[in-house]
Homo-oligomer: A and B are copies of this chain.
Amino acid sequence: MENFNFYSPTEFVFGKDRAAEAGHFVKKYGGSRVLIHYGGGSAVKSGLIGTVKKSLDDAGVKYCELGGVKPNPRDTLVYKGIDLCKAEGVDFILAVGGGSVIDSAKAIAIGVPYDGDFWDMYSGKPVERALPVATVLTIAAAGSEGSGDSVITKEDGMLKRATGSDLLRPKFSIMDPALTQTLPAYQTACGATDIMAHVFERYFTNTTEVEITDRLCEAVLLTMIKETPRVIADPDNYEARANIMWAGTVAHNNIVGVGRQQDWNSHGLEHELSGLYDVAHGAGLAVIMPAWMEYVHKHNVMRFCQMATRVFGCQMNFEDPEATAIEGIRKFRSFLKSIGMPINFAELGAKEEDIPTLVEKFGIGDGKTGGFMQLDAHDVTEIYKIAAHATL
């Protein structure tokens, strides 16, 4: 096991009808003038924004608001948010929505106390200050409600870049699974795929003897395999929604990833897909991740056997371990297909002829990247090709 620091100070406020406590918690964590940041009109129409506002009113907290965050959130709205916060003297950002809204809120939180362009922090500069951020989560997927990460897309060139800092960990996150019951099946499945991908990025590692995080990873994956089909079949299943929502947080606050090298190439490869085609991140991952697994499995066949047997219930083939490894990957792809995810370029709406562009944008040049198996431009090209043609 490698040395690590683990710090997840967010207060999670989980369960039915908790959004009405937003005002109480904003006040507890020192907010006096809040920006309510959200996405489309659904948060307004559902009455959620109204509930949050009433709660802030009751707590005597002032607020302004900025909606309009899109999936793969853009820098352009972030600049608008920063200007608004400066004009209104905002000291606390409350994101009401999913990962995109939260990531946009984190970018605004970085930008307000910073003299230069907030994009500097998405170009490698460390985050040194940020306004406090909190969330009212409406989609189980990104894990941003419990993480210090944020991903923003620069509209000029559709360049998707990330930053991370403990300063961006939300002060609190209100998580009411009932709020996710109105999500369409496709979006629910995209979220589930993202959650599983967050685990797999940590599961495939060259660090040995980290049984505790291996088992915690498997715990989240087994939960997702049980609960996701139940939610796809019955969107109103509160219990299944609740399990998935909490699994999404556990998958990405790094409790399942400490003490080990992590990979993250699948996320990198996917970011180019959703950057170029503006497809849902989870859908892109459903196409990329099994393809990545097929390409890298020889790097550590036994680790894929562990996944196959412990997570997907395969019988170990002791005479031919690789067959077990491949069977596990096949089961993963079948699972994704069964919950309605695309599994190849055609189903995603991506084009094979764009692969050189994707590789170019991936920006690896003559270098290599990845924590599990180091990939060069040739490897990346091959993985996109597998993803282009994948079948069950």
Chain A residues near B (Cβ < 8 Å): 1-16, 18, 177, 208-212, 215-216, 218-220, 222-223, 226-227, 239-240, 242-243, 246-247, 250, 255, 258-259
Decide: B7 and A12 in contact? CB cutoff 8 A: yes
Enumerate chain B residues within 8 angstroms of A255, measured Cβ to Cβ: 250, 255
Enumerate chain B residues within 8 angstroms of A2, measured Cβ to Cβ: 15
Enumerate chain B residues within 8 angstroms of A250, measured Cβ to Cβ: 212, 216, 255
Enumerate chain B residues within 8 angstroms of A4, measured Cβ to Cβ: 12, 14-15
Q: Which residue of B lies closest to A16 (CB)?
A: B3
Q: How far is the CB of A167 from chain B (nearest CB, A)?
A: 13
Q: Which of B14, B219, B227, B259 contacts A258 (CB under 8 A)?
A: B14
Q: Which of B1, B177, B218, B243 contacts A243 (CB under 8 A)?
A: B1
Q: Which residue of B lies closest to A1 (CB)?
A: B242
Enumerate chain B residues within 8 angstroms of A239, measured Cβ to Cβ: 1, 208-209
Decide: A212 and B7 in contact? CB cutoff 8 A: no
Task: Name, among A212, A215, A218, the residue most crowded by chain B CB atoms within 10 Å (CB to CB).
Answer: A212
Task: Name, among A9, A215, A218, the residue most crowded by chain B CB atoms within 10 Å (CB to CB).
Answer: A215
Decide: B18 and A7 in contact? CB cutoff 8 A: no
Enumerate chain B residues within 8 angstroms of A247, measured Cβ to Cβ: 212
Enumerate chain B residues within 8 angstroms of A1, measured Cβ to Cβ: 15, 177, 239, 242-243, 246
Interface of A is mostly: mixed
Q: Which of B10, B219, B226, B246 contacts A259 (CB under 8 A)?
A: B246
Q: Which residue of B lies closest to A217 (CB)?
A: B219
Give Cα A32–Cα B96 distance, bound, in whole angstroms.
39
Q: Which of B3, B5, B14, B258 contacts A3 (CB under 8 A)?
A: B14
Instruction: Known pairs A212-B250, A215-B223; list 10 more (Cβ under 8 Å).
Output: A3-B16, A3-B18, A5-B12, A6-B14, A8-B8, A14-B259, A211-B222, A216-B250, A218-B219, A219-B219
Give Cα A209–Cα B9 distance, bound, in whole angstroms.
27
Q: Which residue of B lies closest to A12 (CB)?
A: B6
Decide: A212 and B223 in contact? CB cutoff 8 A: yes
Q: How far is the CB of A321 from chain B (nearest CB, A)?
A: 20
Decide: A5 and B9 in contact? CB cutoff 8 A: no
Q: How far is the CB of A29 from chain B (nearest CB, A)?
A: 12
Q: How far is the CB of A221 from chain B (nearest CB, A)?
A: 9
Q: Which residue of B lies closest to A209 (CB)?
A: B239
Enumerate chain B residues within 8 angstroms of A6, measured Cβ to Cβ: 11-12, 14
Q: How far is the CB of A311 from chain B (nearest CB, A)?
A: 11
Decide: A212 and B216 in contact? CB cutoff 8 A: no
Enumerate chain B residues within 8 angstroms of A12, measured Cβ to Cβ: 4-7
Decide: B243 and A209 in contact? CB cutoff 8 A: yes
What are 14 sample pairs from A and B whose C-beta atoms fall under 8 A apart?
A1-B15, A4-B12, A4-B14, A6-B11, A6-B12, A7-B12, A8-B8, A212-B219, A212-B243, A212-B247, A215-B220, A216-B250, A246-B258, A246-B259
Enumerate chain B residues within 8 angstroms of A208, measured Cβ to Cβ: 239
Decide: B215 and A222 in contact? CB cutoff 8 A: yes
Task: Name, among A2, A6, A220, A222, the residue most crowded by chain B CB atoms within 10 Å (CB to CB).
Answer: A6
Give Cα A310–Cα B12 distance, bound, in whole angstroms.
28
A11 with B5, Cβ < 8 A, contacts A209-B243, A212-B247, A223-B211 known:
yes
